[in-house]
A and B are shown apart, each in its own frame.
Chain A
Amino acid sequence: MVSTRFLIVLSVALAVGLTFGCAGGGSQEGGGSGAAVSHADHEVAPGELDDYYGFFSGGHSGEVRVLGIPSMRVLKRIPVWNIDPGSGWGITNESRALLGGMQTGDTHHVHGSYEDGTYDGKWLFVNDKLNNRMARIRVDLMEVDAVVNVPHAQGAHGLFPQRYPSTEWVVLNSEFRTPLSNDGRGDMLDASTYGGVHTIINAADMEIVAQVTTPVNLDLAATDYQGKYSFATSYNSEGGATISEMLASDRDYLVVFNWEAIKEALANNNYRIVDDIKILDGTEGTGLTAYIPIPKNPHGVNISPDGNYAVACGKVSPTVSIIDINKLDDLFAGNIEPRDAVVGEPEVGLGPLHTTFDGRGNAYTSLFIDSQEVKWNIQKAIDLYSNPVEGETAVVDRLDIHYQVGHTMASMAETKEADGKYLISLNKISKDRFLNVGPLKPENDQLIDISNDEMILLKDEPAYIEPHDCIIVRRDLIEPHVVHRAVLEEHPLAVTQSSVERVGNKVTARITASAPVYGLQEVVVNQGDEVTFIVTNTDEIPDLAHGFAISNYNVSFVVGPFQTKSVTITADKPGMYWIYCTNFCHALHLEMRMRFVVNPRST
């Protein structure tokens, strides 16, 4: 007995030692306590609310997640390119109409709508890299309300809304070069005919304004703070179709799109129309674009909160390239050469992917290969570029993360109001950080305090596949816009009075849901009827959702307060089927049921 207890104590001690050992090694340069302890200042106690909303893309889970920051509590999962029986997304008529039959997708980037360089709390936009679409999420409901399909694009990846004066346009890059009209004509294996498109989408009506074609691929996207330029990194300037071909050159591009020139070309009808889309030629020399050579297979491009610099990460090069946005007018005027716009190119470490900012002149770059966050000073990097000093570096601090960071984002960092409080490291690999749950492990989103000179790791948060990117938005910019219940009449079919109506073999059952009863106790139809159920939650309690599930008919959805959802089925199975409320709503929730009776087809 004694020896067993001793062993347990020893193993616990070892485990604790190991934990602190890992975290203690956090800083290789510039000190940094790196202690993996929770700091009381950042605790969000039970019943308390977070200071920030975090909007996370969910990668190939197809969803968007809403977290509270700094607690890292997951507050909501917004289904986008998936089927979610929890809410009925992908099951209801309304959501199916938006999804158009494609219920898989890949959300990489979620960004908010802007007014004057900060979030206006109106919309979120999210891409679908898989099926080449963009969805708009209403912030008031935190649900998708519109989808636009993007033709001529594959790998619809980098997405960014206009930041100034407000979000009229959203740009979306196609990462994969393809034939423009990809209809099977021509030699489809001839990659020299492929190109990328920079798609401009009108945020309000969710229609495509135009597409600017480039011979190169277009990866991450950004917009400036003046409404003049948008940006795309390109890692395949070679026009290659294989990985070897794509990595041949030591420099690829930061592509700059000139909005004034684009608007002028549109006004002058200087475009062709392909598949009903206005196509603008964005090859070099057209005046619509500038191609700034930067090393090598670059990935992220992010704009400093003062609007002065675009920072592009070298990925295969250990450098980041700093482009002075104020020099772009001169570049487009032909007064300077493309490389003259590069004002800094510091070495930061291996595998730099994305950069974010604290609003105090520092940048934070994620290093995939080094598994680190590196903090560096922008002005110092610029100074050292024009005037190198032996032994000096712009790097201020480094923090080991766990492990293989992709995107990284600081609080409010994609606005002019970057506040330098928190940094999130969205790590692809969690390895030994959590209990083993089998071969498919969670990823690890780490919360880091950046309010001091040194970065301090605060928290590990396991995350299901695959939080790709995020934005961290001050609570006061979002919370006042979010409603507790929908506007009942907004849905044209909202039910305030339950009824059943038959026209030929089409039956419409309009049903209210108010705990613990549905507005009807039974609906009787004939086998073969096409039956539409329209359900409105008329409950007055602003936190009470009702489910509507039809046994054996593969129908399940949930209706929030004052919302209406519908579903249409063919009553192909005769019999009596209970319809029941799936979402616990009342002390008598289990009794909230009604009968769906399908009379057999007479023989």
Chain B
Amino acid sequence: MWSGDTLAQDVERGKAVYDSRCVICHGDQGDGKGLIGIVHRAQQNGMVVTIYPRDFTAGVYKFRSTPSGDLPTDDDLMRIVTEGISRSGMPSHTDISEADRQAVIAYIKTFSKRWAEEEPGTPLVIEAAPAAVGSGESSGRGKDVYATMQCSKCHGDTGKGDGPSSADLEDSWGDKILPFDFTSGPLKGGSTPEMVYRTFMTGLDGTPMPSYQDALPEEQARWDLVSYCLELMAGAPGDTDQ
């Protein structure tokens, strides 16, 4: 994306942005152990936080357009830095310039060797959602896909994230992680049909959420599953369980 000279300048500028905006969570080593990362792990009573800041040293990213196991594209990183991640603590950064955002991405890459050794993956091509998505029929079929793919093992029969495995899940860093409760509303990876589809295909690297690109090859079944998940999200009643 950038030439050598610009990159060096970007890294320097990116460090300044990082130290201003990012270091408090992601840490000066980029390992996700900034002060807030440490506080959130230490606080195990009362306000218990279950989502921790990304560790950039591993070069593993949840929200990508690229296949499971691949590095994200610069566009992926730019999207997350710009928009933030809803419901995760990652804020938006539309209030700084695009050049600053580009610079901080260049700096973030310095934390992992992967960026020197590998190329980003090729983005998956996701067509616009078929018209049937969101229909009762599609959602009805999607419910069967949800069962066949054993989504309920983690996400539970009613999508509340309370499946039999839900209590003992860990991410790649050994931190406890909770499966998503669909009835609680929007997804971190985005809630449009295409974004939900993307999450099924890419998986969430570093978490127990796998890619279903191979396991679920049939296009219609994928979109049916999207329909069912959207139905679970739309039904969202208020949460009466603590």
Chain A positions near chain B (C-beta within 8 angstroms): 140-141, 480-489, 496-500, 512, 514-524, 538, 540-544, 562, 586-588
Q: Which 9 A-B pairs have the closest CB atoms?
A: A483-B238, A498-B92, A496-B86, A488-B185, A519-B91, A514-B89, A519-B92, A497-B83, A520-B95
Residue of A with least CB distance to B235 = A487
Do B91 and A541 touch across chains, with their CB atoms under 8 A apart? Answer: no
Do A588 and B39 touch across chains, with their CB atoms under 8 A apart? Answer: yes
Closest CB-CB distance, A297 to chain B, in whole Å?
46
Do B91 and A543 touch across chains, with their CB atoms under 8 A apart? Answer: no
Q: Does chain A have a CB within 8 A of B94? A: yes
Do B84 and A519 touch across chains, with their CB atoms under 8 A apart? Answer: yes
Cβ-defined partner of B43 (8 Å) among A496, A498, A540, A587:
A587
Query: Other CB < 8 Å A-B pairs besides A485-B239, A541-B48, A588-B35, 11 of them?
Result: A480-B240, A483-B237, A487-B237, A488-B184, A488-B186, A496-B86, A496-B87, A497-B84, A519-B92, A521-B91, A588-B36
Closest CB-CB distance, A556 to chain B, in whole Å?
21
Cβ-defined partner of B21 (8 Å) among A481, A482, A521:
A521
| Given the contacts A497-B84, A512-B84, A587-B43, A522 and B238 also touching, CB distance less than 8 Å | no
Do B92 and A523 touch across chains, with their CB atoms under 8 A apart? Answer: no
Chain B positions near chain A (C-beta within 8 angstroms): 21, 24, 35-36, 39, 43, 47-51, 83-84, 86-89, 91-96, 184-186, 191, 236-242
C-alpha spacing A544/B89, complex, angstroms? 13
Cβ-defined partner of A497 (8 Å) among B51, B92, B185:
B92
Do A483 and B239 touch across chains, with their CB atoms under 8 A apart? Answer: yes
Cβ-defined partner of B86 (8 Å) among A497, A499, A588:
A497
19 A-B contact pairs sorted by A residue (CB < 8 Å):
A483-B237, A485-B184, A487-B237, A489-B186, A489-B236, A496-B86, A497-B92, A499-B92, A512-B92, A515-B47, A519-B92, A520-B92, A521-B95, A524-B95, A541-B47, A543-B47, A562-B184, A586-B39, A588-B24
C-alpha spacing A101/B21, complex, angstroms? 41
C-alpha spacing A488/B83, complex, angstroms? 18
Closest CB-CB distance, A518 to chain B, in whole Å?
7
Residue of A with least CB distance to B185 = A488
Q: Is the interface of B mostly helix, strand, loop or mixed?
A: loop
Residues of B within 8 Å of A500, CB to CB, are 94-95
| Given the contacts A541-B47, A542-B242, A498 and B84 also touching, CB distance less than 8 Å | yes
C-alpha spacing A514/B94, complex, angstroms? 17
C-alpha spacing A540/B178, complex, angstroms? 12
Residues of A within 8 Å of B89, CB to CB, are 514-515, 517
Residue of A with least CB distance to B181 = A540
C-alpha spacing A249/B162, complex, angstroms? 68
Do A485 and B91 touch across chains, with their CB atoms under 8 A apart? Answer: no
| Given the contacts A587-B39, A588-B36, A538 and B87 also touching, CB distance less than 8 Å | yes
Do A542 and B48 touch across chains, with their CB atoms under 8 A apart? Answer: no
Closest CB-CB distance, A348 to chain B, in whole Å?
43
Residues of B within 8 Å of A518, CB to CB, are 91
Residue of B with least CB distance to A495 = B86
Do A140 and B87 touch across chains, with their CB atoms under 8 A apart? Answer: no
Do B48 and A484 touch across chains, with their CB atoms under 8 A apart? Answer: no
Residues of B within 8 Å of A541, CB to CB, are 47-49
C-alpha spacing A587/B24, complex, angstroms? 13
C-alpha spacing A487/B84, complex, angstroms? 21
Residue of B with least CB distance to A516 = B36
Closest CB-CB distance, B176 to chain A, in whole Å?
14
Cβ-defined partner of A522 (8 Å) among B51, B95, B241:
B95
Do B47 and A520 touch across chains, with their CB atoms under 8 A apart? Answer: no
C-alpha spacing A544/B242, complex, angstroms? 12
C-alpha spacing A212/B49, complex, angstroms? 56
Residues of A within 8 Å of B241, CB to CB, are 484
C-alpha spacing A489/B39, complex, angstroms? 30
Do B39 and A523 touch across chains, with their CB atoms under 8 A apart? Answer: no
Residue of B with least CB distance to A499 = B94
Residue of B with least CB distance to A481 = B240
Residue of A with least CB distance to B236 = A487
Do A496 and B186 touch across chains, with their CB atoms under 8 A apart? Answer: yes
Residues of B within 8 Å of A519, CB to CB, are 84, 91-92
Do B238 and A485 touch across chains, with their CB atoms under 8 A apart? Answer: yes
Do A540 and B49 touch across chains, with their CB atoms under 8 A apart? Answer: yes
Residues of B within 8 Å of A540, CB to CB, are 49-51, 87
Residues of A within 8 Å of B39, CB to CB, are 586-588
Residues of B within 8 Å of A588, CB to CB, are 24, 35-36, 39
C-alpha spacing A520/B241, complex, angstroms? 31
Residues of B within 8 Å of A481, CB to CB, are 240
Closest CB-CB distance, B139 to chain A, in whole Å?
18
In this complex, the member of A482, A500, A544, A586 whose beta carbon has the largest number of chain B beta carbons within 10 angstroms is A586
Closest CB-CB distance, B31 to chain A, in whole Å?
19
Residues of A within 8 Å of B47, CB to CB, are 515, 541, 543-544, 586
Do A482 and B51 touch across chains, with their CB atoms under 8 A apart? Answer: no
